Structure 1
Amino acid sequence: MKKIVGLFSCLLLIACAVSAFAAGDGSFKRVKSQGVLTIGLDDAFPPMGYRTDKGELVGFDIDAAEEVGKRLGIKIKWQPTAWDGVIHSLNSKKFDCIWNGMTITDERKKEVAFTKPYKMDGQVAVVRFGEKQFKKLADLKNAKIGVQKGSSAVEAVKKLPAAPVEVREYEDNPKALLDLESKRIDSVVIDDATGRDFIAKRPGKFMILPGNITKEPFGVAFRKDDVELRQAVQKQLDAMVKDGTMGKISKKWFGEDITNPKKWK
């Protein structure tokens, strides 16, 4: 009798597990029923996501996410947040994902689940235009360097050929670049896409030192439990790469298609 009861209990547990697996985690169903995907971002991160002079939110990530929303039949709601605590805010359920040029790192993967990389980026060093003291990355050993708090630049500085004399953390990149222009610091370590965007918009003010400090893949971050939601977004991203939509968005913001993984090697 005990064996029969034990066998029955075992079969019941298996049935429950199979049922739970079949039901899924419900994350995409939840978002689909609400009709809204809420995305956390730093809205001062050009050209990935930033505000125009009129307050309009634009950028590469904005266009890509809006296209995914259209294909999924849901609206996109953007939730600006401080980048320093963005992962905590995601896991506190203040939004559904982080889509804002977030670098995929082993440390971050302990806390969130990423899509496959959709862009390859890297950290570079920006200096004032015509700078003579700092001509290469190794020269920054005598520099005061600015970085955005909570960004990949914080770790990238540690990978410079020589340690700088000082590293200052800023709330956002524009404030760091303002201090660079005012000669309060000597360089800003920043991701390549954003650095080039600033330089293009303010010609004759800044330039990038030769060479990348790091090579960094960008991904969309989700809570680890929201597997189905991440998979739904990934499916659309894959389709957009295949049909050329991501390439068109890339050319709009970068002048070339930088979303093709074959070019990242």
Structure 2
Amino acid sequence: MKSPWRICTLGAAAVIVATLGTACSSAAPAAAPAPAPDVNHIVQQGTVRVCSTGDYRPFTYRDPQGQWSGIDIDMAQDMAKRLGVKLDVVPTTWGTMMKDLGTRCDMAMGGITVTLDRAKQALYSTPYLRDGKAAIVRCADSSKYRTLADIDRPGVRVVVNPDGTNADFDKANIHHASIVNYPDNNTIFGQVVANKADAMFTDASEIRYETKANPQLCGESIDHPFTFEQKAYLIPQSDPALQQWVDQWLNIAQNDGTYAAISQKWTGQVIGAT
């Protein structure tokens, strides 16, 4: 004969199991992760949002009236046209670009240097332009500043815009000269012209543009930069489909004359990735 206590215990256990089963089955299922946006999403929304700093000519510039221009603005317009969507250029800064990517914009364009640090946080397109850090100085003083060692001396003032690769270069290479932070990248070259700074390190492509626009400024080492760099476009890590489409578009634009015409327009020459 079975013990009544054992029967009671088994019955209670069955009730508990049944109750737990009912509770588990009534719980809301875990929410599925939201699908990552892709190129189809951009086409469906009818607009591609491109973040750009607007302060880095000849790649990107936003004038006081809010009008955009530059190599990468022209390229973005061509990209949007081939996607069949409108272009929305979203202002950003070098310090907030990575945070804005994938939230305020679908990708970022505008003379963006390929770096390993950025590559940890985002995808890059295929590089479209080869570049490197060089120096820009007053032509009247160019004989004094031929090399990096000539500039990195006590008493020399090196002006830099914070948060970008120029600042990274200065931090790594300037040990004796004074570094002067200047936050407005649109007017920073005026600091050299006005003798408030002696030199600035930036990309050779930007130096070519600035020295063409201002005969008081001269470039040093622009044909043999101090560093090897490439420019590319930034894409959210969650969007490899967009990266693939952008790479295919770039390949076509580089081989059908589109990129060559835009590069020639802004730099006076066709500057490639190699």
TM-score (norm 1): 0.82
Q: After TM superposition, what 4+ stretches of structure 1 lie above 3 angstroms from structure 2? A: 51-55
Query: Within 2, Cα distance between the matches of 1:26 and 1:57?
Result: 26
Q: 1:141 to 1:40 in 2, by over 3 A?
A: same
Does residue 191 (structure 1) correspond to residue 197 (structure 2)? The answer is: no
Query: Within 1, Cα distance between the matches of 2:93 and 2:182?
Result: 11
* 1:200 corresponding residue in structure 2: 212
* 1:174 corresponding residue in structure 2: 186
Deviation at 1:133, TM superposition (A): 3.1
* 1:144 corresponding residue in structure 2: 157
Q: 1:53 to 1:129 in 2, by over 3 A?
A: farther
Deviation at 1:172, TM superposition (A): 3.3
Contact 1:173/1:190, CA 8 A, preserved across alignment = no
Does the residue aligned with 1:39 lie in a helix, a strand or coil?
strand
The one-character-per-residue Cα deviations of 1:24-67 (angstroms, maximum 9, x if unpaired) are 84411211111111111111211101135765311110111111
Query: Within 2, Cα distance between the matches of 1:188 and 1:63?
Result: 27
The one-character-per-residue Cα deviations of 1:63-98 (angstroms, maximum 9, x if unpaired) are 11111111111111101112222112215x011111
- Any residues of structure 2 matched to 1:111-150 within 5 Å, and which? 111-131=121-141, 132-142=143-153, 143-150=156-163
Query: Within 2, Cα distance between the matches of 1:77 and 1:135?
Result: 42
AA of the residue aligned to 1:110 = K
Does the residue aligned with 2:109 lie in a helix, a strand or coil?
strand
TM-score (norm 2): 0.80
Query: Within 1, Cα distance between the matches of 2:250 and 2:152?
Result: 41
Q: 1:155 to 1:139 in 2, by over 3 A?
A: same
- Any residues of structure 2 matched to 1:91-106 within 5 Å, and which? 91=102, 93-106=103-116
Structure 1 runs not aligned, ≥5 long: 1-19
Deviation at 1:192, TM superposition (A): 1.2
Contact 2:37/2:238, CA 8 A, preserved across alignment = no
* 1:41 corresponding residue in structure 2: 52
Contact 2:49/2:89, CA 8 A, preserved across alignment = yes
* 1:109 corresponding residue in structure 2: 119
Out of 198, 204, 229, which is 1:216 matched to?
229
* 1:29 corresponding residue in structure 2: 40
Please give the root-mean-square deviation of Cα atoms over the aligned residues, in Å.
2.0
Contact 2:124/2:235, CA 8 A, preserved across alignment = yes
AA of the residue aligned to 1:111 = Q
* 1:228 corresponding residue in structure 2: 241
Deviation at 1:109, TM superposition (A): 0.4
Contact 2:129/2:271, CA 8 A, preserved across alignment = yes
Structure 2 runs not aligned, ≥5 long: 1-31
AA of the residue aligned to 2:239 = D
AA of the residue aligned to 1:27 = D
The one-character-per-residue Cα deviations of 1:193-222 (angstroms, maximum 9, x if unpaired) are 11221111111x111123412121111001
